[in-house]
Amino acid sequence: MSFRMIVGLGNPGSEYADTRHNIGFRVVDAFAAKHGAEPWKKERKQKGEVALLSGSKFGKLILVKPTTFMNESGVCVQKLCSYYKIPPEEVVVVYDEINLDVGEVKLSMSGSAGGHNGLADILSRMPPRFARIRVGIGGKPDKEMPLADYVLGKFSSDDESVVSASMDRYVESIELLVALGPDLAMNQINRKRKNDDSNSI
């Protein structure tokens, strides 16, 4: 199985840039910067920003940040898959996960949206046969707090330090998946880490 499209989920606009919900954008931005992707370009018809990566050890990859708001992320993904003729099996979606601690990351190949509106919209528009890289943002500190308020809030200074320190690991998760395929990558990404050892690609 080969992967050709990496989609980071988030909301457009500077006011959302550092919110928990935009961690998908941040990870894909970091991946693009590390591997020298072309500058991001707005594809208005496809409702997303696209950066092409070619000539790398990963082959040609299409990096995507939807410019719809989170709840309509699937519009962009569906349009770009159609435009580039990419099946769901060759798509990776990177997004925030409240059921993982800050600094954690997990790879899965199936499952429900789990309350994530961006993922739910993608699942409503295309078959669920795509890879999901879930980046932990931690759970709500107060059960009564509306979920929208939490995910649209910014990380605390302590959590932001953890996110910054973990960014290499988040990027490495994409690298492992693209280079090794889901089975081998899952063994490395999802295992319990005893320390900060790394299996960089």
DSSP string, 2-37: ---EEEE----SGGGTTBGGGHHHHHHHHHHHHTTP
CA 71 to chain centre: 15
> What average pLDDT score do residues 126-134 get?
96
pLDDT per residue as tens digits for the range 32-84: 999 999 999 999 999 999 999 997 788 899 999 999 999 999 999 999 999 99
Contacts of 127 (CB under 8 A, 6+ apart): 88
Residue 200 belongs to a domain: no
* Range(s) of the domain holding residue 108: 5-70+80-189
Residue 31 belongs to a domain: yes
Contacts of 32 (CB under 8 A, 6+ apart): 40, 51, 53, 63
pLDDT per residue as tens digits for the range 71-115: 999 999 999 999 999 999 999 999 999 999 999 999 999 988 988
Residue 198 belongs to a domain: no
| 8 Å CB contact between 139 and 99 | yes
What pLDDT does residue 2 have? 85
- Active site positions, annotated: 21
Higher-pLDDT residue of 192 and 33 is 33
Q: Is the pTM of this model over 0.85?
A: yes
What pLDDT does residue 158 have? 96
Task: Identify the H or E element spanning 152.
Answer: none
What pLDDT does residue 56 have? 75
Domains in the chain: how many in total? 1
| 8 Å CB contact between 54 and 60 | yes
CATH of the domain at 90: 3.40.50.1470
The Cα–Cα gap between 64 and 5 comes to: 7
Residue 197 belongs to a domain: no
Alpha helices in the chain (DSSP H): 23-34, 73-84, 117-125, 147-151, 157-180, 182-189
What pLDDT does residue 1 have? 56
